[in-house]
Amino acid sequence: MAKTRRLIAERLRQVDAVCEILDARIPASSRNPDVAGLTAGKPRLIILNRADQADPDATARWGDFFRAAGYAVLVTDAKSGRGAGKFAAAVRELLADKLRAYAEKGQSGRVARVMVLGIPNVGKSTFINRVAGRNVAKAEDRPGVTRAGQWVPVDRRLELLDTPGILWPKFGDEAVGMRLAFTGAVKDEILDTETLGCHFMAYLAAAAPERLREAYKLPDVPPRDAAETEVGYGFRLLEAAGRKRGFLLPGGEIDTERMARILLDEYRAGKLGRLTLDSPE
Ligand code: G4P
């Protein structure tokens, strides 16, 4: 991260504004913890991407939260393109004072430059492709690979700079790591799929029990026993859901690993409905 910090700090001098792309399902967990401080001196725009997968009420509350903190906010679904068409106008509005000052100096044709930041899997490449209207080379997310920042024209007066370096999420905070794993932003190897599924089941039982009931035809979602661990509780729910789905192993045991995989796949594919895991409150 030290290297990325340095690269961002160097390139910040060349841009007029910063656009930070977040996953609208996890706007807090998908933020790199250094970016807010690093970019404090610039006009800033937050993109709540993957809005098609997030709860619309939660997205509206997150929008209010970031606006109150001084950011411009744009809600997008880069996959379908919804919202992306408003990007250039949002940047011009954010930079209105600066652009007016340029015009007064006779530099109205000056190109506005925006640095686009985002941790892997928020949809940054898809977003850049959308707003630039063509296929730009896919950013390299592998660790250790240096990425020379490239300028990507959006129109005659707006250019983007893709993240110089790799921005990591907030590792070290267990709840954050878990949410990144639930959404698939970090790979399942961090925890084995079954254990991750247990945690997600326990999370859903507390945060959205009605979704569990509907998706897995459970008559009720039992509360967690006082003596039960979170994983133990989630396992019990995985068994209940797996039983309903008929996921049986040869000996008649329930295939909880398969159920865990299905649960995570179905959430990521939107089959549990639009569900936001971080709350601004
Ligand atoms: P990154 O650069 O931030 O790492 O992410 P990238 O654009 O590569 O997007 C990662 C995956 O997320 C892609 O799916 C992409 O289509 C999807 N995606 C990006 N933005 C959105 C969005 O707003 N909504 C939804 N639902 N999905 C989004 P993929 O599985 O890798 O490919 P594909 O399924 O599109 O073929």
Residue 145 clears pLDDT 50, i.e. is over it: no
What pLDDT, on a 0 to 100 scale, did the predictor assign at position 146? 37
pLDDT, tens only, 24-73? 999 999 999 999 999 999 999 999 999 999 999 999 999 999 999 999 99
Give the rounded distance of the alpha carbon of 13 from its chain centre: 26
**Would you place residue 85 in the very low, low, confident or very high pLDDT band (cuts 50, 70, 90)?**
very high
Which pLDDT score, from 0 to 100, does residue 188 have?
Answer: 62
Instruction: From 22, 126, 272, give the residue whose CB has the most ligand 1 atoms within 8 Å, as the site to mutate.
Output: 126
> What's the mean per-residue pLDDT of the chain?
91
Q: Is 125 in the pocket of ligand 1 (CB under 6 A)?
A: yes
> What mean pLDDT comes out for the span 81-102?
95
Q: Is the CB of 193 under 6 A from ligand 1?
A: no
**What pLDDT is stored for residue 187 in this prediction?**
79
Instruction: Give the gyration radius of the chain's Cα atoms.
Output: 21
50 CB near ligand 1 (under 6 Å):
yes
- What structural domains and CATH numbers belong to the chain? 2-162 (3.40.50.300), 192-268 (1.10.1580.10)
Q: What pLDDT, on a 0 to 100 scale, did the predictor assign at position 143? A: 44
